[in-house]
Amino acid sequence: MASSVLSREEELYWLALKLIPGLGTRTSGKLLDRFRTPQAIFRASRTELEGAGLNGAVAQSIASGCSFEEAAAQQAKMLETGAEVVTIGDPRYPPSLREIFDPPTLLFVRGRIELLQSLMLGVVGTRRPTPYGVAVAERLSGDLAHAGLTIVSGMARGVDTAAHRGTLAAGGDTVAVLGCGVDVVYPSENRKLAGAGADCFGVPHGGDGFPAEFPHPQPDHQWHERGSAGSGGSAVQRIGHHCQAGDGPGPGSFRRPGEHHFEIKLGA
């Protein structure tokens, strides 16, 4: 895989690979492991591609180069919006993200790309928190950002928005990881938050968010097996627990009765 910032031609090939119909992240990663670069993948014959495990339709799409026209259009839009492609082999790619079960082969990034190399902490949670939950998410994120951590969330309504807002209010750094195009702000009321730090996207310009575009999280036990925070590995600390209406918050819980849990994911 590439190990440096891409040239325009290299970027075009990465975009064309991303835009092949029916080619998922995992299969794309396997192709890169075998052929090393997108250029080599597109130079391969249909027979070689099918030998690598592709079905006939996807192999034909790659062999025909049908995605290059759209890839060129994406490059033009990236120039307009100031977005960049960061591939899985790029030294700017977040190290902890590279370690998950099914890492995206490329990210569309707008803003302060250097934040992807900072010490990050993810704060995520329900889209319908209580006022208490919003206050805790804002204060916790602000305090942690003030301590030097970059707060990562998904800019969704609720806890995610509170995490970004609390971080910015404290003068901290924040990264938004979204499942929509770099030119799409969702939800629309978060336009003031967009671009405040670094925005990372899994889909090209104009793409609407949908579940398949989000990286698949590892089960909690896999995170814990990698080590605790500060040990050079990654860990998940679950704050609170699931409550039914009428239950009181348990020890260490930040929630009120009936509120869903939220998690803090630590990546070292």
Q: What's the first-to-final CA gap in the chain, in angstroms?
A: 23
Q: Give dist(CA 147, CA 149) in Å, integer.
A: 6
Do 33 and 151 belong together in one domain?
no
Among residues 60, 81, 102, the one where a domain terminates is 81
Total number of domains constituting the chain:
2
Tell me the H-state helices in the chain. Answer: 8-18, 25-35, 38-43, 46-51, 56-64, 68-81, 95-98, 131-146, 159-169, 220-225
Query: What is the Cα gyration radius of the chain?
Result: 20
Q: Give dist(CA 258, CA 238) in Å, integer.
A: 17
Do 120 and 63 belong together in one domain?
no
Q: Give dist(CA 206, CA 145) in Å, integer.
A: 31
Q: Looking at residue 190, what DSSP letter applies?
A: G
Question: What would the pLDDT profile of 188-232 be if each residue is shown by its tens digit?
Answer: 777 777 766 667 766 565 555 444 444 444 433 332 222 223 333
Q: Give dist(CA 230, CA 237) in Å, integer.
A: 13
Domain that holds residue 55: 1-81
Residue 13 is part of a domain; what is its CATH number? 1.10.150
Among residues 46, 81, 116, the one where a domain terminates is 81
Query: 72: which 2 tokens?
Result: 């060129």
Among residues 31, 60, 81, the one where a domain terminates is 81
**12 in a structural domain:** yes
Do 129 and 26 belong together in one domain?
no
Q: Which residues pair with 83 in a beta bridge?
A: 110
Do 77 and 162 belong together in one domain?
no
**34 in a structural domain:** yes
Do 145 and 173 belong together in one domain?
yes
Question: What would the pLDDT profile of 237-262 be if each residue is shown by its tens digit?
Answer: 222 222 222 223 333 333 333 333 34
Task: Give the pTM.
Answer: 0.70
Residue 164 is part of a domain; what is its CATH number? 3.40.50.450
Q: Which portions of the chain are predicted below pLDDT 70?
A: 1-4, 195-198, 201-268
